[in-house]
Amino acid sequence: MGASPLSRPIALGGVSIRNRLLMAPLTTNYGDERGAVTEKTLSFYEERARGGAGALIFEAVSVNPRTRLVVRQHGLHDDVFLPGLREVTRRVHAHGAAIFVQLCHGGAKAGSAINGLQPLSASEVPVKVSDIPRAMSREQISRAIEDFATAALRAREAGFDGVELHAAHFYLLSAFLSGYFNRRTDEYGGCVENRARLTCRVIQAVKGRAGEGYPVICRIHGREALPGGIDEAEARQIARLLADAGADALHVSAATLPVNPKLASSFAIQVGGPPTKQVPAGCYLPYAAAVKDAVGVPVIAVGKLNEPSVAEGVVRDGIADAVAIGRGLIADPYLPEKILAGRWNEIVRCEDCLTCHTTLQTQRDVNCSVSPRPWEPRGGAR
């Protein structure tokens, strides 16, 4: 067996990554009651850096304390979080991996039960049945842009190699991009250019605050299975607009699958869940390929790419430039090392049971059926 195509280095916005296997952002609920780093956080990320990933994308952090997604979501909305996050980046860098951080405004998914406030979104279209969001005013939009920019500056101060803007999965930026959720009639609604305006302005604000050379990845939808939702043509148009605004890479997810069946009664929409056992590997690859064909910046593919042969084919066949794996790295932090070394039979396989997703959505620490207590160090590959 020759060298894996995933073993080749790649540059994301000028940051050199040792290989093309990335850890996708995974909200863990491992923070403390304020959202600060804990020993669970440190252990979880250090073990996955030790496991051979080229780069980790640290989970969605709140850019405003009133837009949290879970009760112990990590934050970047205050300097108090910097010491713990500096320790995260120090430990990850010590093992040769790069680390980005995902910045997120919860939008309609920032529930009132967690934050004590009615959530804000592009329009009054709910994601969860428990909360009808308020449409944001221009003043509130300007505040959100400022929140992202300030969080990005803190990310740089904490030692992160760059940031990822979460513009997928129906959080704030995603809702503005989507024709299903965005019913506005001002300069932020209507045509694709208007719907992309907020995310473009956030990219520009981040570059203005953290520096033009500071890398920005955008996570977007390649398709939404909703009436008026983003289709493949719109996704390519959005990708070009974001790249023109300064995005250094695009991370292509999608909202085409049913929501987690264990949680379906909580959602006002029935699409946007993680892949289940019944979904084939590489379920979002056609959307990543379409985006890659439209832009000149690197494209990261995601979506049930735990199978080594499928992951290798993504890069070998030019479908995308890098692969992000999430749940597979909860199950086995040494998955990248094992893939790159050809030790595929040693991988602890994710069973797509959604235990991790269900525990998170019910406000518990993320756990795993095949690898219980994933925050504990393993003491080496196994």
CATH of the domain at 45: 3.20.20.70
Give the burial string for 69-102 (b: 16+ CB within 10 Å, else e): bbebbbbbbeeebbebbebbbebbeebebbbbbb
Q: Which two tokens stand for residue 138?
A: 């221009």
pLDDT for 73 beyond 50:
yes
Mean pLDDT of all residues in 159-172: 98
Kindly report the pTM of this predicted structure: 0.96
Please give the residue range of the domain that contains residue 319. 5-361
Task: Give the whole-angstrom CA distance, residue 330 versus residue 351.
Answer: 11
pLDDT for 246 beyond 50:
yes
Q: Helix, strand, or coil here: 240?
A: helix
Quote the number of domains for the chain: 1
Residue 61 lies in a domain: yes
| Contact between residue 300 and residue 168 where contact means Cβ atoms under 8 Å apart | no
Residue 380 lies in a domain: no
What count of other Cβ atoms lies within 10 Å of the Cβ of residue 113?
10
The pLDDT value recorded for residue 139 is: 98
Residue 370 lies in a domain: no
Of the candidates 23, 147, 36, 193, the residue with the CA atom closest to the CA atom of residue 97: 23
Residue 366 lies in a domain: no
Q: Which of 30, 171, 180, 287 is catalytic?
A: 171
The pLDDT value recorded for residue 94 is: 98
Residue 126 lies in a domain: yes
Residue 373 lies in a domain: no
Q: Is 171 a catalytic residue?
A: yes
Residue 9 lies in a domain: yes
Give the burial string for 181-215 (b: 16+ CB within 10 Å, else e): bbebeeebbeebebbbbbbbbbbbbbbebbeeebb
The pLDDT value recorded for residue 382 is: 42
Of the candidates 239, 260, 258, the residue with the CA atom closest to the CA atom of residue 248: 239
Cβ-in-10-Å burial (0-12, 13-18, 19+) of 355 comes to buried
Residue 216 lies in a domain: yes
